[in-house]
Structure 1
Amino acid sequence: MPTVSYQQINLGFQTVGQQRCSLMDNRGSECMILVIDEIQKITNWGEAVKKEWDADSFNSRNIKVLLLGSSRVMLVKGLSESLAGRFEEIRMPHWSFREMKESFGFSLEQYLFFGGYPGAATLINDEERYRQYIQSAIIESTINKDILMDTPIGKPALLRQTFELGSAYSGELLSLNKMLGSLQNAGNSVTLAGYINLLNECELLCAIQKFSIDRARRRASIPKLQVYNNALKMVYNQLDFENSLLNRAIWGRIFESGIGAYLVSQAFVNRFEVFYWRERDNEVDFILRKNGSVIAIEVKSNAQKKTAGLEKFKEMFKPKAAFIVGDGGISAEDFLTMGLKKLF
């Protein structure tokens, strides 16, 4: 296969622009849809698209442009720097339980453990190969191509350590200071916060803040680490699928992380915020907020039907709804297949 330079790609982009204009003019078409895949591979693609877009607007050409790319960080950078006010971001979330069940026959337990990466679905019967796939094809590929390629990182090894530790503790509260004590050459909490923010932009790992009316208190709270796909947590799990199911303590953490992964993955699409709440010994696993409406969700892998934290939160904040996800409330399968918009 011949090698194609970036200069040739850019020239090809300009040629496509000229051809589509000629095609519309010659055929008298009223509208055209132009789809460009892997747009981030074009040097200064944002400026090129802006130039063509403005030319089409000036000449009243009705062209719908769909830009696709595998590197979200590079896509967002090109959009924000060159196309302000000219685009709508459409984000594709991680595969849901419904999609994995319909496409690959996943059970609820398999989805919570192995996550929602379709490329790894056929490998779950060989867990060593499955973990290697997630590690190399998902984690390393995303960190190397989405972050390190385009963002100056002073300590790449620390970035990877932050991700590994955060993924292993997904669904749990972990202060940045405690993370500093667990990492080598960690620097300071500002560095870790910056790395977690980069991982969040790539939809790998995020830090959920404590729910509070006071924004300052929310920012100062201990974060609850959460992966966007539970497969990322399972790579660092010490037990295999069968033994994890038998260990109630470990499965409880997997269960909560799996529900949390679904919520943070769907948050952008459904336009809601995700928090947790804790006051002394009272805690609620997830708080959803949208347009002033608040939903409180407690996750239980056992049949417990009431929790003191949920009752206390209801008393203090009067949420629109408050319920348990698990055997003691809405089943996890029903929750993962319901439309989250219905909650609000």
Structure 2
Amino acid sequence: NDSLIETVLARDVLQSKRINKPALLRQLFGLAITYPARILSYNKMLGQLQDAGNTTTLAEYLRLLGGAYLVTGLELFSKGVIRKRASSPKLIILNNALVNSPSIETYEQVRNSPSKWGWLVENAVGAHIYNSLSKTKWSITYWRKGNFEVDFVIQGGEKVIGIEVKSGRPGKLTGLNAFRKSFPKAETLIIGETGIPLDEFFSTPAQTWFS
């Protein structure tokens, strides 16, 4: 697994730009793939990494990983604009194979764990959206206010769409409801249970659902 990480980073990141702390970049990548679709503050990352430097360095390295289509940190959507600073990034690993490769758990074990399966599905949805919308007018963020959260927010011009991913039993859509109250003009979309079937979503370019 370490050799896989080394190969990916050497090919896609380390050869393309001078990195002052290559060991830190490797650690950050290794940490990120264990937190798919999770919101992780930079301070928490600092606490789990050796010789981490500061949050500015971590943010820059996360940006480099995103540029290589490995891992991206989604920003917080707030008041119709993307908050670029101070928000905790939501980590999306842009290929689920990178999440699965270090795991010693079987598919059945993950499938039978609602939380782990939920993160894996949510990460896959986020990766599909990010990869599809790259280099388009659309941006992808997430929204959180108090205890309410929306998995993804897509914005293109004046159009805003809140997206909730459902991977298990249908539940209350408290996050989407709160999002609608905060942004009455926004549209909403459910992917998974009670919404767009996952297989249909993954087999279609993501922007198809937003136009």
TM-score by length of 1: 0.57
* Equivalence for 1:155: 21
| Distance of 1:271 and 1:218 partners within structure 2 | 17
| Distance of 1:258 and 1:198 partners within structure 2 | 20
| Distance of 2:87 and 2:142 partners within structure 1 | 10
Q: How many residues align?
A: 210
The alignment status of 1:292 with 2:158, answered yes or no, reads yes
| Distance of 1:150 and 1:293 partners within structure 2 | 35
SS of alignment partner, residue 77 of structure 2: coil
Shift of residue 291, structure 1, vs aligned partner: 1.9
* Equivalence for 1:17: none
The one-character-per-residue Cα deviations of 1:175-200 (angstroms, maximum 9, x if unpaired) are: 01100000111111111111111111
The one-character-per-residue Cα deviations of 1:18-76 (angstroms, maximum 9, x if unpaired) are: xxxxxxxxxxxxxxxxxxxxxxxxxxxxxxxxxxxxxxxxxxxxxxxxxxxxxxxxxxx
Letter in 2 for 1:292: E
* Equivalence for 1:326: 192
The alignment status of 1:170 with 2:36, answered yes or no, reads yes
SS of alignment partner, residue 203 of structure 1: coil
Cα contact 1:209–1:275 (8 A) shared by 2? yes
Larger Rg: 1
The one-character-per-residue Cα deviations of 1:268-312 (angstroms, maximum 9, x if unpaired) are: 155311010000011000001112211111011123254111011
Cα contact 1:171–1:257 (8 A) shared by 2? yes
SS of alignment partner, residue 134 of structure 2: helix
Q: Which has the higher strand share?
A: 2
Change (3 A) 1:218 1:197: closer
| Distance of 1:263 and 1:203 partners within structure 2 | 12
| Distance of 1:257 and 1:279 partners within structure 2 | 21
| Distance of 2:21 and 2:179 partners within structure 1 | 41
Q: Choose the corresponding residue for 2:177, options 311, 316, 338.
A: 311
The one-character-per-residue Cα deviations of 1:85-128 (angstroms, maximum 9, x if unpaired) are: xxxxxxxxxxxxxxxxxxxxxxxxxxxxxxxxxxxxxxxxxxxx
Cα contact 2:148–2:178 (8 A) shared by 1? yes
Shift of residue 217, structure 1, vs aligned partner: 4.1
Cα contact 1:296–1:322 (8 A) shared by 2? yes
Change (3 A) 1:339 1:154: closer
Summarize the alignment of residues 1-344 of structure 1 with structure 2, pairs less than 5 Å apart.
136=4, 139-213=5-79, 217-268=83-134, 270-304=136-170, 306-342=172-208, 343-344=210-211
Query: Which stretches in structure 2 are left out of the alignment for 5+ residues?
Result: none
Q: Which has the higher helix share?
A: 1
| Distance of 1:150 and 1:171 partners within structure 2 | 27
Cα contact 1:302–1:328 (8 A) shared by 2? no
SS of alignment partner, residue 286 of structure 1: strand
| Distance of 1:252 and 1:340 partners within structure 2 | 19
| Distance of 1:214 and 1:340 partners within structure 2 | 21
* Aligned CA-pair RMSD: 2.0
Shift of residue 319, structure 1, vs aligned partner: 4.5
Letter in 2 for 1:192: L
Change (3 A) 1:216 1:314: closer
Cα contact 1:270–1:341 (8 A) shared by 2? no
Change (3 A) 1:245 1:190: same
Change (3 A) 1:240 1:341: same
Query: Which stretches in structure 1 are left out of the alignment for 5+ residues?
Result: 1-130
| Distance of 1:284 and 1:144 partners within structure 2 | 35
Shift of residue 145, structure 1, vs aligned partner: 3.0
Cα contact 2:82–2:141 (8 A) shared by 1? no
